[in-house]
Copies of this chain bind each other. A is one copy, B any other.
Amino acid sequence: MKLSTKGRYGLRAMLDLAMHSEDENVSINSISERQNISENYLEQLIAKLKKAELVNSTRGAQGGYSLAKPMEEISVGDILRALEGDLNPVDCALINGNSQCSDMDCCVTKSVWKKISDSINDVVDKITLRELCNDSKELEAKNIKTNSGCKL
């Protein structure tokens, strides 16, 4: 029941992007250095974020990435689902929104999985990148170095 590095690194990368892409494109290389994440691996994570239309890319020299939408329109849920797939604790048609599940009536435990799933999605959908970005700026203002080697 753990988030993989995809989700963890990916959220940090998006936050980094949010913090630095206001005036110019941000290269993978620069995120990689600031966040201490392997360049090649980060590339793959950002590819997923691009596919989910959360970031834009510009190829060529002086190219890089930027947010595809305003920060307030990107939720942590959007980011995590793009990277991890759905956030449901079990793969189940009912929970994944398909009411045609043939076992719908017979699985008592499914109600449990659905409640967990709903609560996770509720939480992450309510947090926007804007909020995290503000938190981060606040810490910076206090001269606290953010993400000093911590990989979470």
Neighbour of A1 across the interface among B84, B127, B135, B136, CB < 8 A = B84
Closest to A91 in B: B2
Closest to A19 in B: B108
Q: Decide if B90 touches A3 in the complex (CB within 8 Å).
A: yes
**Chain A residues with a Cβ closer than 8 Å to the other chain, count:** 49
Chain B hits for A68, CB < 8 A: none
Contacts A1-B84, A84-B1 hold; do A132 and B148 have CB atoms under 8 A apart?
no
Bound-complex Cα distance A109 to B15 (A): 9
Chain B hits for A107, CB < 8 A: 146-147, 150, 152
Q: Tell whether A63 is near chain B: CB-to-CB under 8 Å.
A: no
Q: Decide if A89 touches B122 in the complex (CB within 8 Å).
A: no
Contacts A112-B124, A112-B132 hold; do A148 and B106 have CB atoms under 8 A apart?
yes
